[in-house]
Amino acid sequence: MKRGPVGCLLVHGYTDSPFTMEMLGRRLADAGFTVRCDLLPGHGADPAELNRLPWRAWWDSVRHAHDALARECESVFAVGLSFGGTLALHLATHRPLAGLVTMAAMLGTIDRRPYHAGWLRHVLAYVPKSGGPDVAEPLADYVGYDTVPVGGVAQVMRMIEHVRADLAQVRCPILVVHGQHDHTVPLENAHTILDTVSSTDKTLVVLPRSCHVVTLDVEHERLENDVVNWVSRLADRAGQ
């Protein structure tokens, strides 16, 4: 969505789709920002594709999307959900971002199985998503895979190790958002990000009623307000 001279690159999570970012993206566009949210490789078609991709395929996609947006805009913010937050953190170490918003960014998981995905993928190709997305109340609509490809999870965990090692290289302003009742990614991940990045402008928002997919959860309107206000403040300050 082409709007103003400041761009916002939105990055969805593993097995999800841009659907999870649509409401937030529309709010940012309504506030005058140019918004882009690409479908990550291996998503939106056959879950088997995710078992065949290296993590660098997702990184390359995000990097190319940023570079395309940067050619259109004077400055770019990155906004990532879950594994999209992990990708956005990696982007912040390789590109000059105006700011970074992570939402339930994945630097580790509550479920221990992902840590063993490297060998589990040889005996188990998929794990069904039980109960749908991790939100406080069931969703009437959701666009994304209903199963988790285990081979892809092994690649997710490999990238997490890489991103953790480089966290101190993040220096741009950062807004870290997490749901208090996240059953997927522990809240301590948010504190790890804040404690490790080198940013001097950093803010934590914990949503007291929300679970993991905060962009679709019961406090999504508060989330949208917080993100739009934070990005607007930094964009206005840069324009002075």
- pLDDT per position as a tens digit, 49-79: 999 999 999 999 999 999 999 999 999 999 9
Place of tokens 């995905």: 117
Q: Closest Cα partner for 14 from 139, 149, 164, 120? A: 149
Average pLDDT, the chain: 93
Tokens found for residue 143: 């666009």
- pLDDT per position as a tens digit, 147-178: 999 999 999 999 999 999 999 999 999 999 99
Active site (annotated) includes residue 82: yes
Q: How confident is the model at residue 240 (pLDDT cuts 50, 70, 90)?
A: very low
Distance set, CA 70 to CA 30, 85, 97, 237 (Å):
20, 19, 10, 19
Marked catalytic residue, from 182, 199, 210, 220: 182
* pLDDT reported for residue 239: 60
Marked catalytic residue, from 66, 90, 212, 220: 212
The domain limits of the chain are 6-239
In angstroms and rounded to an integer, the radius of gyration of the C-alpha atoms of the chain is 17
Q: What is the mean pLDDT of residues 29-53?
A: 95
- Max mean pLDDT among 63-77, 102-116, 122-136 falls in 63-77
Marked catalytic residue, from 17, 82, 199, 210: 82
Tokens found for residue 237: 């300050």
Active site (annotated) includes residue 212: yes
* Encoded amino acid at 97, one letter: L
Nearest 5°: CA angle at 159, between 153 and 161? Answer: 110
Nearest 5°: CA angle at 123, between 134 and 142? Answer: 25
* pLDDT reported for residue 210: 97
User: Which CATH number describes the domain made up of 6-239?
Assistant: 3.40.50.1820
